[in-house]
Structure 1
């Protein structure tokens, strides 16, 4: 074989298009829900969900997704990636139907967890198939398009969700998945070749169980503490118990001969640093998106569609910059590109500390554009660095690590920043609701959505309650935004210290993974 011969699949670009469609439905559904949160909290037009139930409607999906990613990545490598992709799409479509017709918050949370099962079967095999069908010299560009699709879906979700809520009931934001899934199944069956790992790993059932139990317990404690206070023993039993189980999980993974998550990989800087960046960025970004939906729809009074359209600058930045990120990495190095992206993201998130009820909306648009630009220049170099640290036949390990960390960090971001939001809001509004009747006081004290629902029943006293709720929410939003900016800024230090710099002359994507920890996975 000649050195210049392309070893990729003849239909690789068409296959990439199919994988992007499959990926879009998974990522899209996470962000399409953000714009529907206000409607789901409405007892008349939605399900009357509390803020804690809204957080769980997001996190039941992401935690199941994250807990099963590694296992399903291994099973996909063993049973066939195409087969797993089709199965995942079908499960995702059925769970979308159940979500659309849920009759209570609990049913929605359960259906969303089932969607996490389908998503976990889809996500890891898409990146594994990309690495299998593309020549290493084209892999960076393909991954850049893949990562750009992730970022674009993050932004398209609120716009599509807003358009659907403008004309249909809240279940339409889930029902829209069904035709996309049907198209995806047909295209995968026709175009995508079957592939397997010649030396598949073994399934680590105990590791999967420990990771899911630990993450759910930790997240439950954080969300419940934010909603009802951290002064109850149950909250700390849940948080400390979750941390203890996660510690057991790490110890088990270090000793296991077939770990679901090979934690030894995190000793290697060129693998661990980009994984950490992915986690920190999504922790900060998903938490900010959670409170931003309430800020725009309640404090500023925009409709769901208008709220979705306000995310267009984020989408435009992702669409323009993400595909160009790989070329920027080749020219300036992964470290420089990632640092610039992190600085832009941290500045954009931190600037929300100065946003209030009367801030010109163009300022918010500029901030979302800066955040989109920053994230577009973080994800592609980080993902490519993760993938290039492993041999091609173990691409599933890299994709599973990246996506597990992204999902777990996003869930913890919603839980932690949501809890900060709840705790500060509840403390700030306490004096304003002290004289209200019992049910109205409880509703207004729980969340800004509850305050607006209570105000509808108060008559002349309503404007005063709404003003107090808006002030309390904005104050809470400032604390959450400040924390998110600190988290993103921490990524700058990690990138400066451990991300690889400008690549040496000649091809770098085909370099072998020589570190003992990485070589041990091959």
Structure 2
């Protein structure tokens, strides 16, 4: 039996090595809550026409309705993970569900754009707490042998959320008013609250002040559930790193805002450059502060571990490739091939279904165990890169080329994504599981935003160079076309821009796979040498 009973410090103990007896049921509840959060990243897009009409929302209002959620969520991920480690992961999971449910209720009943923007920001706070605590709880209730499969299922929910968001949103809007897309979150949040209170064990870390590890120290692999945390010990809990939380929140929110604003306001505009510059300065101050304080929220010594740096670099680039390429793919299906939004969503579904099948069946986890983390990540990134190349070069032959690319991207994501998340979490001590989940979520948010921004810029640049009329956007170019032949040339130019940007994404993903695999392989070799010396 694995329970979380309090120790003499007042902090609940970690689960025993055999895992929590109800861990698979808990995982199901966690995934349901996480799916709701992820759906809200995409479901609002299909409601934009209704919001514009019924709330008289301007373009700037629509942008803030969408961005308020992602800005708050991405800015708070590290702070939310740190709070979960300090105050209890179960408490933060319950708080996240309550905030997300309350924000959904206010959003569904909003009577003005200001109310809806504020509600979306509140939902972002709840979403940050949920995304970090769910992965941290998974690491606590499962045994190390079960981590690959459990993380694979947890990761598959992300793909399912991407595919299901537009479909669910379209269905709801066909039958109800726009507010219903938020109110459907309420029963899920209520179910999650009850299940969290009844089923989820509490876990948090009671730690002494961190000793200075010296220049040669680096975090080792995470210990098995129930074993002592090498970075913790008896004594009073460490003080909350309030300055670190403030700096990370401001820095990440500013960085994500700069990435989001780039395509609209121009990458060389004063707003974008100023915000990006401020983000870099604030994050540099954050890194310096974390390296000096005795109670860091994010221990900078983690970056001396090749496992951690390898997984971090790969995670950013896999999110870069996924986010950017799928953003481009939806445009290709609608603008070039002429599919409607719902039909385009259905035609991208094979990607998500491939991820779900491979991870829910455990095939991805078994492949990772058999091949090892470095090889799994490299193979997954090669498949993902091949899928992007297929979409770039074969879509002119019809949907068959796109389908092949989607299946390859799905298989690569199912293999590399969970292996990458597991590598990040296993390089961080169990006491910092919440911060590890925050790092993983922050990398995904940053990579997705960067992929959309950079590959979108490549598309715009290529299209502007090839378009036969004086316009830089597809709708404007089509409106300026004088006849059918010129219209066809505009579409050909746009298709060429899409192919070029997909190939750029493929190169970045392949580079990330090679880099991550090399760093992880070197880390494994170094660990083996240390173990051999210790044995000798």
Asked if these proteins are the same fold (TM beyond 0.5), I'd say: yes
**Structure 1 Cα separation of the partners of residues 145 and 268 of structure 2:** 56
Aligned pairs, how many? 484
**Structure 1 Cα separation of the partners of residues 85 and 175 of structure 2:** 42
**Structure 1 Cα separation of the partners of residues 266 and 18 of structure 2:** 58
Q: Counterpart of 2:39? A: 28
The answer to which of 15-24 and 134-143 deviates more is 134-143
Q: Counterpart of 1:139? A: 147
- Give runs of aligned pairs for residues 74-89 of structure 1, distance below 5 A: 74-89=82-97
**Structure 2 Cα separation of the partners of residues 229 and 243 of structure 1:** 19
> Structure 2: any 5+ residue segments left out of the alignment?
2-15, 208-236, 532-536
Q: Counterpart of 1:371? A: 409
**Structure 2 Cα separation of the partners of residues 292 and 42 of structure 1:** 25
Q: CA deviation at 1:297?
A: 3.0
CA deviations 1:444-502 (Å, max 9, x no partner) are: x5x546778xx5xx9x9797896576445434423432332222112122133112499
Task: Give 2:336's match in structure 1, choosing from 287, 299, 311.
Answer: 299
**Structure 1 Cα separation of the partners of residues 445 and 387 of structure 2:** 22
- Give runs of aligned pairs for residues 97-496 of structure 1, distance below 5 A: 97-100=105-108, 110-168=118-176, 170-199=178-207, 201-322=238-359, 323-354=362-393, 359-422=397-460, 425=463, 431-432=469-470, 447-448=473-474, 470-471=491-492, 473-496=494-517
Q: CA deviation at 1:103?
A: 7.0
Equivalent residue of 1:10, what SS? coil
- Give runs of aligned pairs for residues 66-81 of structure 1, distance below 5 A: 66-81=74-89
Q: CA deviation at 1:163?
A: 3.2
Q: CA deviation at 1:347?
A: 1.7
Equivalent residue of 1:314, what SS? helix
Q: CA deviation at 1:23?
A: 1.5
Instruction: From the superposition, tell whether residues 42 and 233 of structure 1 become closer, same or farther in structure 2 (CA, over 3 Å).
Output: same
Q: CA deviation at 1:101?
A: 5.8
> Structure 1: any 5+ residue segments left out of the alignment?
434-444, 515-522
Q: What is the TM-score of this pair, normalised by structure 1? A: 0.80
Equivalent residue of 1:194, what SS? coil
Q: CA deviation at 1:26?
A: 1.7
Instruction: From the superposition, tell whether residues 312 and 464 of structure 1 become closer, same or farther in structure 2 (CA, over 3 Å).
Output: same
The answer to which of 285-294 and 116-125 deviates more is 285-294
Q: CA deviation at 1:294?
A: 3.0
**Structure 1 Cα separation of the partners of residues 43 and 498 of structure 2:** 21
Instruction: From the superposition, tell whether residues 393 and 219 of structure 1 become closer, same or farther in structure 2 (CA, over 3 Å).
Output: closer
**Structure 1 Cα separation of the partners of residues 524 and 96 of structure 2:** 37
Instruction: From the superposition, tell whether residues 57 and 70 of structure 1 become closer, same or farther in structure 2 (CA, over 3 Å).
Output: same
Equivalent residue of 1:226, what SS? helix
Equivalent residue of 1:30, what SS? coil
**Structure 1 Cα separation of the partners of residues 68 and 349 of structure 2:** 27
Equivalent residue of 2:40, what SS? helix
**Structure 1 Cα separation of the partners of residues 130 and 393 of structure 2:** 40
For the aligned residue pairs, the C-alpha RMSD in angstroms reads 3.7
Task: Please say if 1:16 is aligned against 2:41.
Answer: no
Q: CA deviation at 1:309?
A: 1.3
8 Å Cα contact 1:283-1:411 kept in structure 2? yes
Instruction: From the superposition, tell whether residues 218 and 390 of structure 1 become closer, same or farther in structure 2 (CA, over 3 Å).
Output: closer
8 Å Cα contact 1:161-1:304 kept in structure 2? no
The answer to which of 112-121 and 370-379 deviates more is 112-121
Equivalent residue of 1:310, what SS? helix
Q: CA deviation at 1:49?
A: 6.5
The answer to which of 275-284 and 144-153 deviates more is 144-153
CA deviations 1:491-516 (Å, max 9, x no partner) are: 12213311249989xxx9xx9x99xx
